[in-house]
Amino acid sequence: MAESAQRNSYLQAQVEAVHRNLRFLETVATSPIGIVTDLKSLREAIPAELASEERDRQAFQDVTGRGKDPRRTGLEASDVVRQTFEMIGKLTPEGESILSSDWTSRASKVLDRITDRLGRDIRQAVAASFDGIYVIVDPEHSNGRPVVEVAAKALSGGACAIQLRDKTGERRTVLDAAQKLQEMCAEAGAVFIVNDWVDIAALVNADGVHLGQNDIPIGRARTLLSEAQLTGTSNALQQEALDSESDGADYVAVGAMFATDTKQDTRPAGVETLKQVKGSVGVPVIAIGGINADNIGQIAYAGADSACVASAVTKADDPEAATRQLDELFKRA
């Protein structure tokens, strides 16, 4: 009897947790109205006698008061709800029903929708921060300096994003560098992107991954990434950029703008293609390829949201000063 009472008390506490997290999600998911309505319907259908609306509201205020992004916390809350109601189902004695199968089926579908929505909102917010100099660090193009050292100087110079590209390093080496760069970028308030290595991007919780036209498709990459992680692509043609956006890219890079020796397998795109892409897609557009202090003004005038550079920063004697100069030229144009 005591064991049964203890179990019932535990299950009731879990139901209360589901109620609390659903209430939190209602507050986070301010649109579209259908999701909010469905969340409220789910919450009101569960037996949560001890639920407190005031306590649930306070939980939201606590999160926002601590400076956390409610959308990211909402993704966590969605996972907690799913895991909790699945556990409740496993612990509920056969023949009894706390949360009906119909409720859990509906809840699963609603959580899928809210996870998709919150993830999309987060990715759009992160991509919107591409508003200056996006620096690619590559051990083959850093004048023998560690990529972490070069990236630190670029961040000090005002880089809005760092991408790690390493085509030749051991995976463990790439992973270690990616972890350090992720921590550095998070502290600096910059975006961190991993080139090609989707699994490494997932492991270090990078802000996203950058994919070439011949790399893993965006849809397959998303199966390894969290809902909050970006995917960006390289494009040399307007149609490629349109296809990338259609496939779910959160940003598109267009290039090569100018001749470059940093990457050998690039295709020319040019400023006119950049203008065409900017006028035809709804995601941020990043110009890439051969950009330096002499031509960055052309990129800015063409409407690029950000200028992606490598050698102009990573091979400079002073990467910090080079980044700062490029950033000033880009934003002044």
pLDDT per residue as tens, the chain (333 positions): 566 778 888 888 888 889 889 988 988 886 666 888 999 999 988 876 645 554 555 555 554 445 678 899 999 999 999 999 899 888 888 777 788 889 999 999 999 999 999 999 999 999 999 999 999 999 999 999 999 999 999 999 999 999 999 999 999 999 999 999 999 999 999 999 999 999 999 999 999 999 999 999 999 999 999 999 999 999 999 999 999 999 999 999 999 999 877 666 678 899 999 999 999 999 999 999 999 999 999 999 999 999 999 999 999 999 999 999 999 999 998
Quote the number of domains for the chain: 2
Q: Determine the longest span between alpha carbons in the chain, in angstroms.
A: 81
> Which residue out of 263, 278, 306, 324 is catalytically annotated?
263
Q: Specify whether 151 is located in the same domain as 266.
A: yes
Separation CA 325–CA 293 (nearest Å): 8
Among residues 125, 146, 166, the one where a domain terminates is 125
Task: Provide the 8-state DSSP code for 282.
Answer: S
Q: Specify whether 97 is located in the same domain as 160.
A: no
| Residue 280 falls in the annotated catalytic set | no
Q: Specify whether 249 is located in the same domain as 121.
A: no
Integer CA distances (angstroms), 234 to 37, 218, 250, 331, in order: 39, 12, 12, 23
> Which residue out of 165, 222, 278, 324 is catalytically annotated?
165
Q: What is the CATH number of the domain that holds 181?
A: 3.20.20.70
| Residue 234 falls in the annotated catalytic set | yes
> Which residue out of 78, 234, 306, 311 is catalytically annotated?
234
Q: Specify whether 31 is located in the same domain as 165.
A: no
Q: Specify whether 147 is located in the same domain as 112.
A: no
Separation CA 192–CA 152 (nearest Å): 12
Q: Specify whether 157 is located in the same domain as 49.
A: no
Integer CA distances (angstroms), 221 to 19, 176, 197, in order: 33, 21, 10
| Residue 113 falls in the annotated catalytic set | no
CA atoms within 13 A on the CB side of 212: 13
Q: Specify whether 47 is located in the same domain as 156.
A: no
Is the model's pTM score more than 0.75?
Answer: yes
Answer whether 228's CB lies under 8 Å from 123's CB.
yes
CA atoms within 13 A on the CB side of 68: 15
Q: Specify whether 236 is located in the same domain as 322.
A: yes
Q: Specify whether 117 is located in the same domain as 144.
A: no
Q: What is the CATH number of the domain that holds 79?
A: 1.20.1260
